[in-house]
Amino acid sequence: MILSKSFGYALRGILYVSLMQEEKRKVSLDEIAGQLKVPRYFLAKIMKEVVKAGVLSATRGQQGGFFINSNTLNTSLTTIIRLTDGEEYFNICMLSLQKCNPSNPCPLHSKFEPGRQELFEVCHNTTIGMVIKNNKPEFIKSISFH
């Protein structure tokens, strides 16, 4: 598995909340988990981290829920991956040796470097806002695809 399940849940959750911005309403955990067909309690943990990192905001109580803030749409995939897959995700060697170190490369370093770099670039350059703009139409379907 290239990226963790948690990453998928986090991204889809953030996207769902962002899509609801137009109606300017807050979205409850129950709604997100229900719509995305994602384990409710597990999603709760992840969303807590997302809020703690400032990528989304949330309030408790009646009419409470998750909502976007000034960071949300500018958040890069890299930021989300850091939350879900750990700070070291972008540094570890493909052979699981300590760190990917170009000056003392493993036997596969040169082979994997281009694709790997491409993937990392995309993560760094893609924001939530861009993803939403690109897919608008039927993409709620794909988000909630269980």
Partner DNA sequence: CCCATTAAAGACATGGGCGTCTTTAATCAT
Partner DNA sequence: ATGATTAAAGACGCCCATGTCTTTAATGGG
* Interface residue list for a second copy (CB under 8 A): 1-5, 7-8, 11-12, 15, 77, 89, 92-98, 104-108, 110-112, 114-119, 121-122, 126, 131, 134-135, 139, 142-143, 145-146
Q: Pick between residue 3 and residue 51 the one whose CB is nearest to a second copy.
A: 3
Residue entry with tokens 């989304």 = 56
- Structure token digits, residue 118: 């491409």
Q: What does the binding site for ligand FES look like in residue numbers (CB under 6 A)?
A: 93-95, 97, 100-101, 105-106, 108-109, 112
How many other β-carbons are positioned within 10 Å of the β-carbon of residue 7?
Answer: 19
- Site residues for DNA, 30-49, by CB under 7 A, read 30, 39-42, 44-45, 47-48
Q: What's the closest the beta carbon of residue 7 comes to ligand FES, in angstroms?
A: 12
Count CB neighbours of 100 within 10 A. Answer: 18
Q: Among residues 25 and 133, whose Cβ is nearest to DNA?
A: 25
User: Distance (Å, rounded) from C-alpha 74 to C-alpha 26?
Assistant: 19
Contact 121, 114 (CB under 8 A): no
